[in-house]
Protein backbone atom coordinates (compact mmCIF):
# COMPACT_ATOMS: atom_id res chain seq x y z
CA UNK A 1 0.00 0.00 0.00
CA UNK A 2 1.15 3.52 -0.81
CA UNK A 3 -0.21 6.87 0.35
CA UNK A 4 0.01 10.02 -1.75
CA UNK A 5 -0.32 13.29 0.16
CA UNK A 6 -1.16 16.20 -2.14
CA UNK A 7 -1.38 19.90 -1.51
CA UNK A 8 -4.00 21.49 -3.76
CA UNK A 9 -2.95 23.74 -6.64
CA UNK A 10 -2.61 27.48 -6.25
CA UNK A 11 -5.97 29.15 -5.55
CA UNK A 12 -7.24 32.62 -6.30
CA UNK A 13 -7.02 35.09 -3.43
CA UNK A 14 -10.01 35.18 -1.07
CA UNK A 15 -10.46 38.89 -1.94
CA UNK A 16 -11.05 37.89 -5.58
CA UNK A 17 -13.36 34.93 -4.85
CA UNK A 18 -14.17 33.83 -1.31
CA UNK A 19 -14.68 30.19 -2.43
CA UNK A 20 -11.03 30.18 -3.59
CA UNK A 21 -11.17 28.02 -6.72
CA UNK A 22 -7.94 27.07 -8.47
CA UNK A 23 -6.25 29.90 -10.31
CA UNK A 24 -5.24 29.35 -13.93
CA UNK A 25 -1.71 28.70 -12.67
CA UNK A 26 -3.00 26.26 -10.03
CA UNK A 27 -5.04 24.34 -12.58
CA UNK A 28 -1.96 24.12 -14.79
CA UNK A 29 0.16 22.89 -11.85
CA UNK A 30 -2.22 20.06 -11.06
CA UNK A 31 -2.76 19.11 -14.71
CA UNK A 32 1.02 18.92 -15.19
CA UNK A 33 1.51 16.71 -12.12
CA UNK A 34 -1.50 14.56 -13.07
CA UNK A 35 -0.08 13.88 -16.55
CA UNK A 36 3.24 12.92 -15.00
CA UNK A 37 1.59 10.51 -12.55
CA UNK A 38 -0.39 8.97 -15.41
CA UNK A 39 2.84 8.50 -17.40
CA UNK A 40 4.34 6.82 -14.31
CA UNK A 41 1.36 4.41 -14.36
CA UNK A 42 0.22 5.32 -10.83
CA UNK A 43 -2.94 3.39 -9.94
CA UNK A 44 -5.10 4.37 -6.98
CA UNK A 45 -7.99 2.71 -5.23
CA UNK A 46 -9.37 6.05 -3.98
CA UNK A 47 -8.84 9.81 -3.91
CA UNK A 48 -10.17 11.83 -0.97
CA UNK A 49 -10.37 15.62 -0.61
CA UNK A 50 -11.35 18.11 2.08
CA UNK A 51 -14.37 19.56 0.31
CA UNK A 52 -12.82 23.01 -0.02
CA UNK A 53 -13.18 24.04 -3.66
CA UNK A 54 -9.44 24.26 -4.44
CA UNK A 55 -8.89 20.74 -3.05
CA UNK A 56 -11.98 19.34 -4.78
CA UNK A 57 -10.94 20.77 -8.16
CA UNK A 58 -7.40 19.43 -7.70
CA UNK A 59 -8.72 15.99 -6.74
CA UNK A 60 -11.08 15.89 -9.74
CA UNK A 61 -8.26 16.73 -12.16
CA UNK A 62 -6.10 14.00 -10.63
CA UNK A 63 -8.96 11.47 -10.63
CA UNK A 64 -9.69 12.19 -14.29
CA UNK A 65 -6.09 11.79 -15.39
CA UNK A 66 -5.53 8.66 -13.31
CA UNK A 67 -8.92 7.18 -14.25
CA UNK A 68 -9.71 6.56 -10.59
CA UNK A 69 -13.36 7.46 -10.73
CA UNK A 70 -14.87 10.19 -8.62
CA UNK A 71 -12.83 11.80 -5.88
CA UNK A 72 -14.62 11.65 -2.53
CA UNK A 73 -15.17 14.44 -0.03
CA UNK A 74 -14.37 13.41 3.53
CA UNK A 75 -13.85 14.92 6.94
CA UNK A 76 -10.45 15.19 8.57
CA UNK A 77 -8.63 16.90 5.68
CA UNK A 78 -9.30 20.57 6.45
CA UNK A 79 -6.33 22.88 7.07
CA UNK A 80 -6.52 22.87 10.87
CA UNK A 81 -7.74 19.32 11.44
CA UNK A 82 -5.70 16.99 13.58
CA UNK A 83 -3.97 14.17 11.66
CA UNK A 84 -5.89 11.36 13.42
CA UNK A 85 -8.79 11.12 10.93
CA UNK A 86 -6.49 11.27 7.90
CA UNK A 87 -4.31 8.61 9.48
CA UNK A 88 -7.38 6.38 9.91
CA UNK A 89 -8.19 6.81 6.20
CA UNK A 90 -4.69 5.71 5.26
CA UNK A 91 -4.65 2.75 7.64
CA UNK A 92 -8.13 1.58 6.55
CA UNK A 93 -7.30 1.95 2.86
CA UNK A 94 -7.58 -1.03 0.58
CA UNK A 95 -4.83 -0.28 -1.92
CA UNK A 96 -3.00 2.91 -2.81
CA UNK A 97 -4.82 6.10 -1.83
CA UNK A 98 -4.42 9.84 -2.35
CA UNK A 99 -5.38 12.59 0.09
CA UNK A 100 -5.76 16.09 -1.36
CA UNK A 101 -5.59 18.57 1.48
CA UNK A 102 -4.02 21.72 2.91
CA UNK A 103 -1.33 23.16 5.13
CA UNK A 104 -0.74 22.91 8.03
CA UNK A 105 -2.49 19.50 8.16
CA UNK A 106 -0.24 17.90 5.52
CA UNK A 107 2.94 18.89 7.39
CA UNK A 108 1.58 17.49 10.65
CA UNK A 109 0.34 14.28 9.01
CA UNK A 110 3.69 13.70 7.31
CA UNK A 111 5.47 14.04 10.68
CA UNK A 112 3.11 11.52 12.30
CA UNK A 113 3.64 9.01 9.49
CA UNK A 114 7.41 9.35 9.04
CA UNK A 115 8.39 10.07 12.66
CA UNK A 116 11.51 12.04 11.72
CA UNK A 117 14.46 12.46 14.03
CA UNK A 118 15.49 15.92 15.24
CA UNK A 119 17.97 16.36 12.36
CA UNK A 120 15.82 14.80 9.62
CA UNK A 121 14.44 17.07 6.92
CA UNK A 122 11.05 16.46 5.40
CA UNK A 123 9.77 17.65 2.01
CA UNK A 124 7.86 20.92 1.81
CA UNK A 125 4.35 21.05 0.42
CA UNK A 126 4.38 23.84 -2.15
CA UNK A 127 1.12 24.12 -4.08
CA UNK A 128 0.60 21.15 -6.37
CA UNK A 129 3.22 19.02 -4.59
CA UNK A 130 2.77 15.30 -3.98
CA UNK A 131 4.67 13.38 -1.32
CA UNK A 132 4.45 9.62 -1.86
CA UNK A 133 4.88 7.29 1.11
CA UNK A 134 5.18 3.57 1.61
CA UNK A 135 5.25 1.41 4.73
CA UNK A 136 8.63 0.94 6.40
CA UNK A 137 9.87 -0.89 9.48
CA UNK A 138 8.96 1.82 11.98
CA UNK A 139 6.12 3.59 10.22
CA UNK A 140 6.30 5.10 6.74
CA UNK A 141 9.03 6.45 4.48
CA UNK A 142 9.00 9.00 1.69
CA UNK A 143 9.85 7.34 -1.62
CA UNK A 144 9.00 10.17 -4.02
CA UNK A 145 8.33 13.90 -4.04
CA UNK A 146 6.83 15.42 -7.14
CA UNK A 147 5.90 19.04 -7.68
CA UNK A 148 5.00 21.09 -10.74
CA UNK A 149 8.32 22.94 -10.65
CA UNK A 150 10.30 19.68 -10.42
CA UNK A 151 8.99 18.41 -13.76
CA UNK A 152 10.59 19.67 -16.95
Q: Is residue 106 part of a domain?
A: yes
Mean pLDDT of the 125-130 span: 96
Strands 130-136 and 97-101: unpaired
CATH number at 132 reads 3.40.50.1240
| Phi/psi of residue 26, nearest 5 degrees | -65, -40
Confidence band for 125, pLDDT divided at 50, 70 and 90:
very high
3-class SS at 84? helix
Q: Is residue 97 part of a domain?
A: yes
pTM comes to 0.96
Question: How many domains does the chain divide into?
Answer: 1
Q: Is residue 151 part of a domain?
A: no
Give pLDDT, residue 152: 54
Tens-digit pLDDT profile for residues 43-94 = 999 999 999 999 999 999 999 999 998 899 999 999 999 999 999 999 997 8
Is a pLDDT exceeding 80 seen at residue 20?
Answer: yes
Q: Is residue 73 part of a domain?
A: yes
Domain assignment of residue 98, given as a range: 3-146
Give pLDDT, residue 3: 97
Amino acid sequence: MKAYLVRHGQAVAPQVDSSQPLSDQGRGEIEHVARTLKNMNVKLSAIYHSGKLRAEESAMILAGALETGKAKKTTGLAPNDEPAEALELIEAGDGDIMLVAHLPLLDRLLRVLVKPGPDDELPEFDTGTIVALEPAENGWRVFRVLGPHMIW
